[in-house]
Chain A
Amino acid sequence: MKRKLWIVAALFLVVPGLLFTVSCAKKKVASEPGMMQEESEAAKSAAEKAREEELARQRALEEQRLKEAEEAKRKMIAEERARFENEDIYFEFDSATLLPMAQEILKRKAEYLKANPNLTVVIEGHCDERGTHEYNLALGDRRAKSAMQFLKDLGIPASRMVAISYGEERPVDPGHNEEAWAKNRRAHFVIQ
């Protein structure tokens, strides 16, 4: 009798516990598959998103790269153009003869003009302040024209070039010494 009571008591204790356990378990069991489903969907979309993000990032990177490449190209073109325009050729006093250095520079300029067949160029002839200005207008004309003839001989059509003499009117260095004069005896190239 006492043992039965214990069993009953135990049942009383265990069954609700079981029940509880079961219910808990049941609950747990019931809830888990749902969560799993949600989580996998979330993970899936997250992965998708990440992929997309990654793609976007890569696209952006690619774009950036392209942009940079374009920028670099543009910069290079601008630099080439700037070099073309900034690199003057220099002459000796009262001379329009092309020095070896000037010929090298002119060869590079010819390459550039060949690579850019749509460009036309103004060749400016300049002089230092020595000598009188009318004569220097003529000398500047000869300097511009000897550069033009050299480029013509390298295959640049004359129709793409214009020679303009500025004589001694536009010195780059306003000084009155040989250093300044050497800089001012030049042909300068401007892309139109």
Chain B
Amino acid sequence: MRRLNPSRGMARLLFFMGVAVMVFRGVAGAVEYIDINNPFIRKIPIAVPFFQAKTGTEVQAEIAEKGAVRLAETLEFTGFFKILDRAGFLEDPQRMGIETPQIRFDSWTTVGAELLVTGGFEVLDGALAIELRLYDTFKGRLLVGKRYQGARTDLKKIIRRFCDDIIYTLTGQHGIFTSRIAFVSNGTGNKEIYTCDFDGSDPKQLTRTKAITISPAWSLDGDWIAYTSYLKGKPDLFIKNLKDGRSHQVTHEGLNITPAWRPFRQELAATLSFTGDQEIYLLTETGKTVKRLTHNQGIDVSPSWSPDGKKFAFVSKRAGTPQIYIQDVESNVVQRVTYYGRHNTQPAWSPAGDRIAYTSLEGGETNIFIVGIDGKEPVQLTRNAGDNESPAWSPDGNLIAFCSYREGPARIYVMTAFGTDQRRLLTLSGEQTDPAWSPRSQRD
């Protein structure tokens, strides 16, 4: 188990958030809190009592409650935790101890908590100073603690940042709390690209093409989005920089679809059909063709890169039905991944690199499966809940966003990579499809 380098963490926080932070000493030890082989089999019971206001006013009571509720919800979203009901707590959150010597850990182990988050804060002239701590209740030990100073409006950012510290402390990997999800919604009457936070909050319309606009794809740094749009009456690729507005287009005759950014290089793979055949090409970020990747008469579509950018998974009809294949970019060696089912599409290579999620149409039902890159042991993740498609991995590889028709109209849902905890991400007018999970933000 690794811990954040405190000085680096602090410098980063100061620079990007305008929030000052101080790290308390914490002893994580070599205990495995979350089994990364299947972290969702047993959820860790965690208590998140309301934060403690150092000086009690009504405004502060609101921060105390909302802050704690938001922190608990943010943690719960990961699927790792069972949030304990505050009604059962034995301690009064405004009087209990929130630091090590004063905390009565047996009050928390008695209610079943294995982890405890305490918060203490004060508001002075609109500025917020808040201390957040994570404890192992059985060991009676501080795992991580931080003091943040910022504006009151920074509360959401501060909480997400501390949640990331919690996840990093428990798993050795950063969380997903700075990531966003791009998707397609037709609420305006046309399919347009939208983005929202990882938890479905703060949805924003990104494109206003008044045409069919689909298939958003994030670059590895999260600065670029590529998508397909019928803005000019046919399916073309649009490549947009979200920071500086630079944009490029790929408008060959025929199809220009299914963009996928190659990790560590500013390149994309996409399907073009200007030769008359649907083939996958490697393009620069400006849309110029680097080289043709697939050489096969028939449909080749939907590339998805391996995390090292050396191989890509894709859909090909070369064996008569659409199946998932993997191709090495250098050697061009192709290997078939799916053998079960007659209609397997939408490969999504896992961030860990060992598995591929995909969509299978079988017996009139569309469901999401996961299979090892060796093609062994496909596992069905969705069942008996309408059609389910378009799997998209969270950047930490623990969650999968997908599109489902289980409630009638298409909506975006999230589940763990083991198929558990399936829930709707957000509800907007119209239908939502095509989720694409961004990488973690590099700067927030």
Contacts and interface: CB of A to CB of B under 8 A. Distances in A.
Interface of A: 94, 130-135, 137-139, 141-142, 145, 149, 162-166, 169
B361 A163 contact: no
A166 B315 CA distance: 19
Contact of B345 (A135, A145, A163, A169): A135
B389 interface: yes
A145 B301 contact: no
Interface in B271-316: 271, 273, 276, 278, 299-302, 315
B346 interface: yes
A138 B276 CA distance: 11
Contacts of A164: 233-235
A134 B302 contact: yes
B39 interface: no
B361 A131 contact: yes
Nearest to A164: B234
Interface string B63-76: 00000000000000
B254 to A, nearest CB: 6
Q: Which of B215, B299, B302 has the most CB of A within 10 A?
A: B299
Given A145-B276, A164-B233, A134 B321 contact: no
A163 B254 contact: yes
Given A132-B359, A132-B389, A164-B233, A138 B343 contact: no
29 contacts: A94-B343, A130-B343, A130-B361, A131-B322, A131-B343, A132-B366, A132-B389, A132-B390, A133-B214, A133-B433, A133-B434, A134-B258, A134-B346, A135-B301, A135-B302, A135-B315, A135-B322, A135-B346, A137-B255, A138-B255, A138-B271, A139-B299, A141-B254, A141-B255, A141-B273, A142-B278, A145-B276, A165-B254, A166-B212
Contacts of B302: 134-135
A94 to B, nearest CB: 7
B26 to A, nearest CB: 46
Kindly name the residue among B235, B255, B299, B390 whose own CB sees the greatest number of chain A CB atoms within 10 A. B255
A94 B319 CA distance: 13
B343 A137 contact: no
A166 B302 CA distance: 16
Which of the listed residues A134, A139, A141, A163 has the most CB atoms from chain B within 10 Å of its own CB? A134
B215 A138 contact: no
Contacts of A165: 235, 254-255
B112 to A, nearest CB: 43
How big is the B interface, by class?
Answer: 20 to 34
Most buried by B among A94, A138, A141, A162: A138
A137 B237 CA distance: 13
Given A132-B359, A138-B257, 6 more contacts: A130-B343, A130-B361, A133-B434, A134-B257, A137-B258, A166-B212
Nearest to B434: A133
Contacts of B276: 145, 149
A163 B235 CA distance: 11
Contact of A135 (B214, B233, B234, B299): B299
Given A94-B321, A133-B214, A164-B233, A138 B346 contact: no
Nearest to A149: B276
Nearest to A140: B255
Given A94-B322, A130-B361, A169-B212, A142 B254 contact: no
Contacts of B214: 133
Interface string B190-221: 01000000000000000000001011000000
A180 B37 CA distance: 45
Nearest to B271: A138
Interface string B247-260: 00000011101100
Interface in B341-395: 343, 345-346, 359, 361, 366, 389-390
B416 to A, nearest CB: 22
Contacts of A142: 278, 299
Nearest to B360: A132
B259 to A, nearest CB: 10
Contact of A132 (B235, B254, B273, B346): B346
